[in-house]
Structure 1
Amino acid sequence: MRDEEKTSRYQVVVNTEEQYSVWPVGRDLPVGWHADGTTGTEQECMDHIDRVWADMRPLSLRLQADCQELTEYRTLSTDTKQN
């Protein structure tokens, strides 16, 4: 690891789809991203992301899957009551 990598400061950022990334401190964030409050070396930020980002799917895909599961549950529940 280069000395610059050891001393550079980074922050963890999250987008509207709840996807995480590492971004240099002091650099303007891209549109749609916000800091989650975690700063440190690049490795410290990556370690934090490993701990908190349990489901890699974008938020919209997770919500769609949840809605589909609920619809299937309701259909199954209704079918069971009719029999």
Structure 2
Amino acid sequence: MTNPFDDTHGTFHVLVNEDAQYSLWPVFAGIPAGWRPVLEDATHDDALAFVEANWAEPGMAGTRGKSPC
């Protein structure tokens, strides 16, 4: 069985949290607390392209406004 989060034939929302982290989320799953949709009912490829175009610094999002020390 395919993991629904990896299903390239599935339909997805793109979610974002307060740290500007993005997630592809299957449409059948409820949106978790702390996340909001920024793209709805997209193909896997379209959702992934949206994330790649909008998540400028994936490794740095959680450190926004925080001291490195």
Decide: shared fold, TM above 0.5: yes
CA RMSD of superposed structures (Å): 2.4
Give the match for residue 39 of structure 2. Answer: 37
Gapped regions of structure 1 (runs ≥ 5): 69-83
Q: Please identify which structure carries the higher strand content.
A: 2
TM-score under structure 2 length normalisation: 0.71
Give the match for residue 3 of structure 2. Answer: none
Q: Are residues 1:58 and 2:47 paired?
A: no
Q: How many residues align?
A: 62
Superposed, 1:1-40 pairs within 5 Å as 5-6=8-9, 8-40=10-42
Task: Write out per-residue CA displacement over residues 27-64 of structure 1, whole angstroms, 9 at most, x where no aligned residue.
Answer: 211111110134311121011100110112125x1212
Distance in 1 (CA, whole Å) between partners of 2:52 and 2:45 is 10
Runs of 4 or more, structure 1, over 3 Å off, are: none
The one of the two structures with greater contact order (alpha-carbon pairs below 8 A, sep at least 6) is: 2
Gapped regions of structure 2 (runs ≥ 5): 1-6
Q: Is the 8 A contact 2:12 2:43 kept in 1?
A: yes
Q: Please identify which structure carries the higher helix content.
A: 1
